Amino acid sequence: MTTGRASPEELLKDCNIQVSELDDRTLLASVDPENLPDVIDCLVSKLGLHFATCLGIDLTALGDGHVELIYVLTMPEHAKILLVKTALTREACLKPCHVKVPATLWCELETRDLVGVKLCDVPSGRFVLPDSAEEYPPLSKLHIYSDRRISVAKCLEVRHPEGFVELFPHHPYFYEHEDILVKVSDNKVVDVYYRGFYNHRGIEKLGESRLRIDQLPFLAERICGICGFTHSTAVCQAVENALRIEVPDRARFCRTLMLELERVESHLLWLGLMCYALGRKDLFLKVMKVREKIMTICEILVGNRKMYGLNTIGGVRELITPESVMKVRSSYAQTRDEILDVLKLIEDFPELRQVQGVGVLSRDDAHRLGAVGPVARASGIPYDVRKALPYAAYREVSFSVPVMSEGDVYARYMVRLQETRESLDIIEQVLFRDEIVSGPARAEYTFEEGKLGVGITEAPRGENVHFVLTGRDMRAYRWKVRAPTYANLHVLPKILIGQDVKYANIIVLSLDPCLSCTDRLVLVKEVRR
C-alpha cells in the first residue's frame, strides 16, 4: 500500500459504513435496507469503486425467514473485494440501487425473478423468466430442483415493446438466441431494446442441489465453450477463499499458463471474426490457422483442446507433465513468432479504419454501467483483475495492461490485439518456470459449512465473478455466477444510439458477447416430441 494513502477501512467511513475482514482481501459491511441505495451510490460515484454484481440468498433452509442481498464491489487501488449485505423479510419491499447506479439494474431484477426479492417502484413484468411466468422464484430454497412449474409454451411467449423493429432475430456470429430491437430514423438508431435469456440451463440450481462442491469446477468449465477454464478457476478460488485453502505453487503456475493460452485462443477467434465482418476473409483464415497452434499446445499439455478438466478444489490435477512441457517448450518460440507475424498483418488494414469513431463508449458511461475487460480498457479504465486483484501466479510474471481512450470499435480491436501480445509473453515466462512441473499439485482441505468466498478472474472478455456460500454435506448453499458479457451488455444503448444502422452488427460484435455465459435459469414443466 502506498505510504500516506488512506486504508480501505478509513476510506469507507466516508460512506458511513464499517467493515470487518473475512480474509486478507475480502471486506464485509452490513447496512440497513433503507440506506442501501445511498451507500452503493457513494461507493461507486464518490469513491470510484467498481461495481461487480449483486445476488440474493434465500435463508429459509438455514432456519431464517429472511432473504439476504449481497452487493459485490472491488477496490482496485487496495486489492480488496468489498461485500455489502442487507437482510429483508419476505414481505419487505427493497428500494433498488439502479436509479442511482445503473450497473446494478440487471442483478437486482434477477434477484426479484429468481430469489423472490420484492423491489419498490419497478415496472411489472419479468427479466430472466418468461413474461407470463407465475410467482415462482426458482432459486428459493422452498423449491427443489425437480419441482418444475414453467411450461415450454410460456417460455416461448415474448412481449416486445411497440414501435421497435427486429434488427436481427439471431446475431450472425452467435449460435445462441437473443433479440436486439431498435428504433431507426433516417438510418440512425434512436432507441435500443435488448432481450436475452432464452437458452436457459439451470447451472446455479444444479450446482446448489445436485453436485458436491468438488464437482463444481467441472460444471463451471461448461458455462462457456471458449473461456470455460476461467470459470472453473474462479469457482475454485471462491471455495478456496471460503475454506482458507493455500494453493500450491505448481497449481498456481499451471492455472496461469492455461488461462493465458485460453486468452490467446479467445482473442484470436474474436480478431478473426472482426476481420471477417469487415470483409477480409483472407485475414480471417490466416488468424484461424495460427489459432490452431494454440489449441494444439493445449491438447499436448492436458489432453484436450478445450474443457481441460485440470482444475480441482485446492489446486490442479496432475495432467501437465514434464514430458508435455518439454515438448511445448521446444516449439513455442516458432509458434509465438508466427502468431506475432499475423498480429502485425491485421494491425492496420484499410477496412479497419472505417470503424474509428464508431460505437463510442465514454469513460464515465463505462464506469457507471459497470463495463469490464477490453470494453472498459478501450474507454480509458485500466481495470484488469490480474493486476488489481492478483491471483494464480500473476504476481510473479511481468506484463502490461493495454489501455486506450477513444472508446470506439477500433479501440476495442486494438486493446485485444495488444493483449494477445502480452499474453504470449506471459505464456513464455510461465512455461519456462520450474514450478510448472515440480512440487505438489493440490492441497488437502477440510470442508466447513457456512463459509463465504468470492473468486474473481480476468476472463478474455473481462472480470468474471463467482460467489460461493458453503452448505451441508459437501455442497454449496449458494453459487452465483456473473460472466463478463452480462456486465458489458449494459452498454448496448450507449454504443448503438446515434449510430448508422449499417454499423450495428459490428458494434455488437465489438463487445465480444458470449450469450451462453450470460443466460441464466428457467425451470421447464414438460417437453412433448
Residues 218 and 119 in one domain: no
| 7 Cβ neighbours under 8 A, 6+ residues apart | 1, 78
Residue 319 · residue 309 · CB < 8 Å: yes
Q: What is the pLDDT of residue 290?
A: 98
Residues 488 and 367 in one domain: yes
Identify which of 167, 271, 186 has the alpha carbon closest to the alpha carbon of residue 504: 167
β-bridge partners, 66: 89
CATH number at residue 46: 3.30.460.80
- Asked whether residue 177 is domain-assigned, the answer is no
| Separation CA 115–CA 133 (nearest Å) | 14
Query: How do the pLDDT tens digits run along the chain, 529 residues long?
Result: 334 468 888 889 889 899 999 999 999 999 999 999 999 999 999 999 999 999 999 998 787 778 999 999 999 999 999 999 999 988 899 999 999 999 999 999 999 988 989 999 887 777 887 766 667 788 888 777 666 665 545 555 556 666 665 555 455 455 556 777 788 889 899 998 887 776 666 789 889 988 999 999 999 999 988 899 999 999 999 999 999 999 999 999 999 999 999 999 999 999 999 999 999 999 999 999 999 999 999 999 999 998 899 999 999 999 999 999 999 999 999 999 999 999 999 998 999 999 999 999 999 999 999 999 999 999 999 999 999 999 999 999 999 999 999 999 999 999 999 999 999 999 999 999 999 999 999 999 999 999 999 999 999 999 999 999 999 999 999 999 999 999 999 999 999 999 999 999 899 999 998 876 765 443 333 333 3
DSSP for 219-260, written as a single string? HHTTS-SSSHHHHHHHHHHHHHHHTT----HHHHHHHHHHHH
| Separation CA 259–CA 118 (nearest Å) | 39
Q: What is the pLDDT of residue 1?
A: 37
Q: Which three cell numbers stand for residue 207?
A: 450446482
Residues 364 and 460 in one domain: yes
Residues 119 and 216 in one domain: no
Q: What is the pLDDT of residue 146?
A: 67
Computed on alpha carbons and rounded to an integer, the radius of gyration of the chain in Å comes to 23
- Asked whether residue 353 is domain-assigned, the answer is yes
Q: Which residue has the cell 495492461?
A: 401
Identify which of 184, 186, 185, 188 has the alpha carbon closest to the alpha carbon of residue 165: 184
Q: Is the dihedral angle over the CA atoms 345, 346, 349, 353 positive or is it negative? A: negative
Residue ending a domain, among 62, 95, 124, is 124
Q: Which residue has the cell 432481450?
A: 195
Q: Which three cell numbers stand for residue 18?
A: 464499517
Helix H or strand E encompassing 182:
strand 179-185
| Separation CA 413–CA 509 (nearest Å) | 10
Residues 230 and 91 in one domain: no
| Separation CA 150–CA 152 (nearest Å) | 7
Q: What is the pLDDT of residue 158?
A: 56
- Asked whether residue 243 is domain-assigned, the answer is yes
- Asked whether residue 135 is domain-assigned, the answer is no
Residues 108 and 226 in one domain: no
Residues 480 and 363 in one domain: yes
CATH number at residue 274: 1.10.645.10
Q: What is the pLDDT of residue 128?
A: 81
Which amino acid makes up residue 448? Answer: E
| Separation CA 276–CA 506 (nearest Å) | 10
- CA 84 vs. chain centroid, Å, equals 19
Q: Which three cell numbers stand for residue 117?
A: 426479492
Residues 437 and 303 in one domain: yes
Q: What is the pLDDT of residue 161?
A: 67
Q: How many CB atoms lie within 10 A of CB 160?
A: 13
Residue ending a domain, among 124, 142, 169, is 124
Q: Which residue has the cell 449510430?
A: 499
- Asked whether residue 151 is domain-assigned, the answer is no
Residues 246 and 97 in one domain: no
Q: How many domains does the chain have?
A: 2
Residues 223 and 83 in one domain: no
Domain encompassing residue 387: 212-498
Residue 181 · residue 195 · CB < 8 Å: yes
Q: What is the pLDDT of residue 520?
A: 45
- Asked whether residue 352 is domain-assigned, the answer is yes
- Asked whether residue 146 is domain-assigned, the answer is no
- Asked whether residue 318 is domain-assigned, the answer is yes
DSSP 5: P
| Separation CA 384–CA 361 (nearest Å) | 18
Task: Give this prediction's pTM.
Answer: 0.93
- CA 505 vs. chain centroid, Å, equals 22
- CA 464 vs. chain centroid, Å, equals 3
Q: Which residue has the cell 423472490?
A: 116
